Amino acid sequence: METATLGGGCFWCVEAVYQRVSGVRRVMSGYAGGTQRNPTYEAVCAGGTGHAEVVQIEFDRQAISYADILEVFWRAHDPTTRDRQGADVGTQYRSIICYHDDRQRAVAVRSREQAAERIRRPIVTEIGPLEEFYPAERYHRNYYNQNPRAGYCRVVIAPKLSKLGMPS
């Protein structure tokens, strides 16, 4: 098993995407990339913690590679918009790859270079070491699967899954 930590906008969206990827065993929404210890959702949204909404993805390396996990990442969000995804605006929605070791760093850099060859605008995705991951509050976890009829889920997440050819 291997773990990846990625942020591509609202963690509800990213979580829902990776829960549908073959070889992924567990996805946990949370916060990373900031300075405050044990941040809350409210503090992260206020913008003072420096954290991004991220997901931590546990996957079976025999079934899917880290490079393939990143390929899904590039397709699942817009890595060219700084501090936003769609209507979600703020530093907590930034595009970020938090690597766990030097191998992941090298794969992430190479993956970003390859993505830049097909994406017409400059990619603003940060790549940095994972310092600490803080799980999100329980009500944020598995959000789409538990709330598929909620407005945000119907208007934002379901169309994203459909665009990616994933079941909603």
E strand or H helix that includes residue 71: helix 66-76
Concatenated DSSP letters of 136-155 = PPGGGTTHHHH-TTSHHIII
10 part of the active site: yes
pTM tops 0.85: yes
Question: Which CATH number does the domain housing residue 62 bear?
Answer: 3.30.1060.10
pLDDT at 168 over 90: no
Tally of domains in the chain:
1
- Say which of 10, 13, 98, 153 is annotated catalytic: 10
Give domain status of residue 109, yes or no: yes
Give domain status of residue 77, yes or no: yes
Give domain status of residue 168, yes or no: no
pLDDT digits (tens, 9 = 90+) for 121-138: 999 999 999 999 999 999
